[in-house]
Amino acid sequence: MHSSTPEEMRITLSSFYGRSFTILLRDNKLIYHATRPEEKLVRDPSDDDWDKFWKETVNLKIWLWNRSYVDKSTSDGQNWSVNIKVGKLKLHTYGSGEFPDNYEEFLVVLRKLIGGLDFH
């Protein structure tokens, strides 16, 4: 395993009315799963892909995101979670109807890592 491959990675986005997405690291590969319509693919990012991903996450400062982002005024919005562990860096965060300011930029970076697959 390359040093930039995470030990743990699970990213989810689910919508009360729309598609749901999960990216899960298993056996050093990323498993992409989407619903409505059902879609399941496996991606194997190169070491260079991982290195670019980590640099962009550091630039976005996702490692400083809060533990939770919750809009208590709504119960039917989008729910999401990001759980990543790579080396000494750990991120365990989630939200319901609320997002960090740079969440959309993070999704752009994530799409690059998974070969442009939809995650929105």
Res 120: pLDDT: 65
Whether residue 28 lies inside any domain: the answer is yes
Q: Tell me if 39 is assigned to some domain.
A: yes
Domain count, the chain: 1
Q: What range defines the domain where residue 47 resides?
A: 8-113
CA distance 7 to 84: 8
The pLDDT value recorded for residue 1 is 41
Distance CA 65, CA 91 (A): 8
Q: Is residue 1 included in any domain, yes or no? A: no
In a domain, 3, yes or no: no
Does the residue 75 lie in any domain? Answer: yes
- What's the CATH number where 13 sits? 3.30.1560.10
Q: pLDDT of the chain along its 120 residues, tens only? A: 446 789 999 999 998 778 899 999 999 999 999 998 889 999 999 999 999 999 999 999 999 999 999 998 876 778 999 999 998 889 999 999 899 999 999 999 999 999 988 776
